Amino acid sequence: MSAVAVEGVWKFYGDFPALRDVCLTAEQGACLALIGRNGAGKTTLLRTIAGFSRHGKGEIRILGTSPRETETRRHIGFIGHGISVYDELSALENLTLYARLYGLANPRKAALEWLERTGLERVRDGLVREFSRGMRQRLAVARAFLHEPSVLLLDEPFTALDDRAIAVLQGLLRDGLAQGRTIILSTHQLREALELASHVALLIRGQVAFHGPCTPEMVADPGLVYARYGED
Amino acid sequence: MREKLLYGAGLAAFLLLARNILVIADLPGEAAQGAIFKIIFFHVPAAWTAMVAATAALTLSILFLKTKDFRYDAAAVAVTEVGLAFLAANLVTGSIWGRVIWGIWWTWDVRLTSALVCWLLYAGYLMLRHAIEEPTQRATFAAVFSIFAFIDVPIVIFSIRWFRTQHPGPVFLSSTGSFPHDWTMVLLWNWVALMLLASILGAIRLGQEETQREIDYVRRMAHAL
Amino acid sequence: MEFARLVFVIMAKDLRAELRTKEAVNASFAFAVVILVLLSFVVESNDVPLPVLGGLLWLVFAFAGTLVLNRSFAREVPNDCLDALIAAPISGAALFLGKALANFLLVLVVELVALPVFGIFYNVRWTQQFWQLMLVVVLGTWGVTVIGTVFSALTVNIRLREVMLPMLTYPMLLPALLGAMELTGSLVTGAPIGPETVTWLKLLIGFDVLFTAASVTLVEFILVG
């Protein structure tokens, strides 16, 4: 059983097919890098896999079940374009809130632990409104990892991160992969992503143009996939 | 094919309406109210047509939520708009009648108030649609709103009726039924004519909605290139 | 049990976020006072019958409540917080009820502070049927918040959200407001709820039950399409 299986998925905005017959799989412990130009459907695909919006035809299975099942959602971690934490609440309050929503046994303990792992323990009672951009991003990462998800869906995780946050995130992702978590991330920062990735998928206009293992030559020349499988 | 059907139906509606108007014009004036009473032949069927449209909108909205098929969404907009137009006709004819009989254009009478509130409810549906850009979200939110509106209609009518029975409005001359039996047939025939007209208008609006969707599709395609 | 816990977590989150800044509550209360003052120029408090004042009170509540409700889902927008809530293992129904309860408490607080102000300004002895009035306030406020919370979700991504929400809510709310107005109008005269007014109480309860059920059923469509 694949950790994530996308089978023949179509997603429509009105009549416009944003995703066309997308088939992808990611085995447990794999890291799949979704690449493609703006508007190719990377965000739509990740949001559809995460179960944020219903798709048309096709089937999506995460750990063998639908992403809309409550139980499945316990195992998914998601980072989108926004940081998904509340400006009016403190870092600790935000993380405790999500720990409660995920039904963790000891919400406060989990929250404190992740504040420490992302280097935010010093500002734990500061309101997010007063945080710098890098701190906000690190908090977003902590929020997504808090419930120890076995499938991580990350939409452009490196964009807008400062160096420290990139280091924190890459460290966490490496640890996660070593622990057998599955990661799907979309990105424009090919180098950062390909260093981590075990597999690569290229999306062009909502279709998968290439899906396969990430080879050393791709890492050496990040433009290779585009050059070989892109249209121009 | 569809065009021809539309023209045919349009011609039929026109002929039927013309025939009905001649028949109605030929009827003698009502005992107490005179000629203005004949406005009822349009006033009442317009309200019935609007009710049919609201029921159709509910059905289509539920079907959309179930199937996510945009044809149902387009049909729901079409019938709602047509229904609103007929409800407006109902309000205007009622107002004209009131001007002649009561001497005032408007009074907060049970039926007038109920019709107006329902009109506002469904006007909200169109405003909501107008304000949402993304087609899937627009269709879904509008369908949910339509269901809420339909649930509300009977409660609105009941509450306003109950309100008025507790606060009797100004007493007007009441026309206690002198509605001859053969007039009922005329009324029903005119309803048929109005329903036919409503269907044609609905079909035209549906066609426009479909074109709009195609344009939207082409536009997004162009952006994606 | 798990459901109730999640409802509580969401409610506590919304209350905490709002009470930290008190933006909406303060604005809402200030707005209520401003309307109460302005209304005094429309109605001369000495010769206005008490039932009319009861009606005015609910208009004030509805207007002021909208300011709180506008913020409800808008709060989730800036950092895409709604995404994280939808991603979390919590049903749409629990999310909706949590937010609705938070709104309910916030609106209720504004109303309970505005009520004595109203009593003083308009010389209304509103405490005569205190508990029955509280029942009406609770039922009426729940009606306002349940509709307001759903529509706050429908309008959250819309241009002119602040205008759109009241446009959609008030016609839909009419039966509930009418019931609450009638009951409050009679309660402030000192008369308890009797056979004359009990229909309004039933209407209010029916409205609340019906629309709570509809919202809980349909909210999943609003959140995930």
C89 to chain A, any CB pair closer than 8 A? The answer is yes
Confidence of residue C46 (pLDDT cuts 50, 70, 90): low
Q: In what order do the strands lie in the sheet with A59-62?
A: A16-26, A4-13, A59-62
SS3 C22: coil
Cα torsion through C3, C9, C15, C16, rounded to 10: 180
Q: What is the pLDDT of residue A212?
A: 87
| Within-domain flag for B17 | no
Contact present, C187 and C136 (Cβ < 8 Å): yes
| Within-domain flag for B180 | yes
- C178: which chain B residues are within 8 Å (Cβ-Cβ)? 159-160, 163
Contact present, A201 and A32 (Cβ < 8 Å): yes
| Within-domain flag for B11 | no
| Within-domain flag for B158 | yes
pLDDT exceeds 70 at position B171? no
Q: What's the rounded mean pLDDT across residues C88-113? A: 95
Q: How far is CA C222 from the centre of its chain?
A: 20
Nearest Cα residue in chain A from B210: A15
Q: What is the pLDDT of residue B69?
A: 87
A10 to chain C, any CB pair closer than 8 A? The answer is no
Q: What's the rounded mean pLDDT across residues B162-178? A: 60
B62 to chain C, any CB pair closer than 8 A? The answer is no
Contact present, A90 and A128 (Cβ < 8 Å): yes
pLDDT exceeds 90 at position C15? yes
* Nearest Cα residue to C53 out of C62, C44, C65: C44
Name the pairing type of β-strands A182-186 and A59-62: unpaired
Confidence of residue C172 (pLDDT cuts 50, 70, 90): very high
Between C32 and B28, residue with greater pLDDT:
C32
Q: Indicate the residue of A15, A39, A56 with minimum beta-carbon distance to B213.
A: A15
Phi and psi at residue C52, to the nearest 5°? -65, -40
| Within-domain flag for B150 | yes
Amino acid at C72: S
Nearest chain B CA: its distance from C172 CA (Å): 6
Q: What's the rounded mean pLDDT across residues A171-187? A: 91
Q: What residues contact residue B51 under an 8 Å CB cut-off, 6+ apart?
A: none
Q: What's the rounded mean pLDDT across residues A34-50? A: 89
| Within-domain flag for B4 | no
- Interchain pair A86, C90: CB under 8 A: no
| Within-domain flag for B88 | yes
Confidence of residue A115 (pLDDT cuts 50, 70, 90): very high
Nearest chain A CA: its distance from C137 CA (Å): 30
pLDDT exceeds 80 at position B179? no
Q: What is the pLDDT of residue B172?
A: 47
In terms of residue numbers, what domain contains B180? Answer: 37-224
Q: Look at the block and give the residue holding tokens 């009105």.
A: A14
% of residues, chain C, pLDDT over 90: 67
- Interchain pair C89, A102: CB under 8 A: yes
Q: What is the pLDDT of residue C52?
A: 84
Q: What is the pLDDT of residue B167?
A: 67
Nearest Cα residue in chain C from A127: C20
Q: How far is CA A9 from the centre of its chain?
A: 19
Two tokens, residue C185: 């109008």
- Interchain pair B124, C168: CB under 8 A: yes
Q: What is the pLDDT of residue B181?
A: 65
Q: What is the pLDDT of residue B177?
A: 52
Name the pairing type of β-strands A199-204 and A207-213: antiparallel
Confidence of residue C196 (pLDDT cuts 50, 70, 90): confident
- Complex prediction ipTM: 0.92
- B135: which chain A residues are within 8 Å (Cβ-Cβ)? 13-15
- Interchain pair C221, B143: CB under 8 A: yes
- Interchain pair C168, B120: CB under 8 A: no
B108 to chain C, any CB pair closer than 8 A? The answer is no
How far CA A17 is from CA of A25, A57, A155, C7, in Å, comes to: 21, 11, 20, 36
Question: How is A60-87 classified by DSSP, letter by letter?
Answer: EEETTB-TTSHHHHTTEEEE-SS----T
Q: How far is CA B110 from the centre of its chain?
A: 18
Contact present, A157 and A142 (Cβ < 8 Å): no
pLDDT exceeds 50 at position B173? no
Residue pLDDT, tens place only, B77-119: 999 999 999 999 999 998 888 888 888 888 887 888 889 999 9
% of residues, chain A, pLDDT over 70: 99
| Within-domain flag for B13 | no
* Structural domain count, chain B: 1
- Interchain pair B224, A54: CB under 8 A: no
